Amino acid sequence: MVRRYTSMCGVFLTAALPVLLGPARSGAADTPLRLPEVVISASRLSSEVASPTRDMVVIWAQEIAERAPASITELLGSLPGVDIRTRGPWGVQSDLEVDGSTFSQVLILIDGVRANDPQTGHHTLNLALDPADLERVEVIYGAGSAVHGPDAFGGVINLVPKATVTPRVDVAARWGATLDDEDTADASGVASDAALRWGWQGDWGSAWLSGSKRRSDGYRRGTDFDENRVFGHARLPLAGGQLSVETGIQDKVFGARDFYAPFPSREWTTAQSAAATWRRGSLTVRGFGRRHRDRFVLIAADPAVYDNRHRSLLAGAEGAVRTAVGGGDLAIGGELVHEGIDSNNLGERSRLRGSLFGEFGRSLGDHWRLLTGLRADHHENFGWEASPSVSASRTLGPGRIFASAARSYRAPSFTESFYTDPNNVGDPDLGAERAWQFETGGSLPVAGGRLEGAVFLRRESDLIDYIRATDTPPWQAQNLGEMETVGLRLRASRRWRRASAEAGFTLVDKEQTLGAGLESKYVFTHPTKQLTARLRHDLLLGATADWQIIGRSRLAPLEDYRVLDLNLSLPVTYGSVLLRARNLTDESYEAVRGVPMPGRWFGLETRIDL
């Protein structure tokens, strides 16, 4: 495994070494790479210092609008290296994985604020945001615990809301093939959604409010859903600085047939979040909270058979200050986080975590960037965890190369430690999982476009998974032994006058396998190969077509699949009309074992700018 990783590293380093060690060329090609002065979540420092040293993808509002995703999960699932394990239509329940991680090993941030649920990673994507609310999406690949603490194994995804919005109304209807009780094409299913966004701006600051509703009868029996969201954002001057306030609520009920067990289940969830961030010069102070309610009944027609009710709470505060030291930028600060749960299955439990962190970055001449970080977390149940990181990059005209090493860790969720039912057994003695990730890569212009890539090696210990004898309940939570994951990411993009194209490919291989007769629920179910490709081009009358194909290969028993989607957009006087076509080839596939996904379906959406 290490030999393969070393060989892939050699490809990058051999190509870059003559330029890296040779004299810098004069002229325009020697101009240092300059990035917008924003704080990217890969670091607490400015992006000019931090972002060139890590592999990341940043999708801005204009591209989000061009992609026209129906949900946050659809948007994230179209990005390179990101795997969405969805159990229902339109992402009604989905798990998020990056670079072969499990769904609990990716950290979700909303404008830099932790959004992961302490009960279970199954709730992490219960978010009040819609894609049209976003200014940008940042995907930072690799270990992120040195900056953000636990959970950032496979990567960090930061959803940054817009500062202001254009008032508009969205109305949509969808229809397509449904599945009967034998999961074969039968009739036609219908879904609808509507959204309203309104904003205000003046000398006092700015604010906006977004609300949406989605519902469907489902694509097969027991997959109906009804979902409501409200999200608000405000920026106000306060005490010589700026106060940003964000709050939101998502409430949904959905049929969960076969989602977690082969029964006609039903689930109700409510996720509430709020955060306030005050910035003045180099000082940032933040308070945040997330409350989640969940009710799950195993048999919808007879709730008394098995009825789980949970209430979880995440609350915290942090402060950080940036200053110039030794020719570079230094950020230091601390964080305090409380996690709690009250459940008829897991009991009433709480835990406290405190941390101190620091980062230092500087430019070495016009071409080199160096970034180091160290975070120390004290967990009430697991003691101290240190998360160091170091990364460096060199600009090569319009390109760059980089290398990084970082440590990450994750404490078990409340579910992994304490949840028990006839099919799943938690373990209160689980230890924290840990990893070191080593990565190198680069980017360069090629043939009028851009090529980016990276290879990584993740050395993991005590990974948490559910294991059982094949097809023999129950699943039992346990810490696995030492493991190595090696991977490759490639991205290519190009724009023409009336068209653009992009593609991403990810290859992930885990060295270890389970013994004969054993079955893994999460760790060994990642995509071994993943392809995302997108082509956007103009049509007549100002219309545009946006094609997208997503292909994933997984280990048995899940089969490979390829899904082709199309968006047709036509501008009109009052806004635009959008025709969506999903799964055009009517592919039969499963993202989660035992949960067939919808076949071909279509949607018609009207956007009215007010």
Amino acid letter, 582 = R
Amino acid letter, 577 = V
Mean pLDDT of 524-545: 95
pLDDT at 15 over 50: no
Q: What is the pLDDT of residue 481?
A: 87
Q: How far apart are the first and last CA of the chain?
A: 57
Residue 607 contacts residue 576 (beta carbons within 8 Å): yes
> Each residue of 56-104: pLDDT tens digit?
999 999 999 999 998 999 999 999 999 999 987 778 999 999 999 999 9
Distance CA 176, CA 170 (A): 20
Phi, psi dihedral angles at 30 (to 5 degrees): -95, 0
DSSP SS3 for 524: coil
Q: Say what percent of the chain tops pLDDT 70.
A: 90
pTM for the whole thing?
A: 0.91
> Each residue of 140-197: pLDDT tens digit?
999 999 999 999 989 999 999 999 888 888 887 877 655 444 444 444 567 888 999 9
> Each residue of 29-46: pLDDT tens digit?
333 333 334 445 667 876
Distance CA 385, CA 375 (A): 8
- Look at the chain and count its residues: 610
Judged on CB neighbours under 10 Å (0-12, 13-18, 19+), 102 is buried
Q: How high is the mean pLDDT of the chain?
A: 88
Residue ranges of domains in the chain, CATH in brackets: 2-609 (2.40.170.20)
Q: How far is CA 480 from CA 104, 423, 512, in A?
A: 15, 20, 10
The DSSP code sequence of 308-326 is EEEEEEEEEEEEEEEEEET
H/E run at residue 63: helix 61-67
Residue 433 contacts residue 422 (beta carbons within 8 Å): no
DSSP state of 559: P
H/E run at residue 148: helix 145-148
pLDDT at 534 over 90: yes
> Each residue of 369-404: pLDDT tens digit?
999 999 999 999 999 999 999 999 999 888 999 999
Residue 422 contacts residue 445 (beta carbons within 8 Å): no
Judged on CB neighbours under 10 Å (0-12, 13-18, 19+), 24 is middle
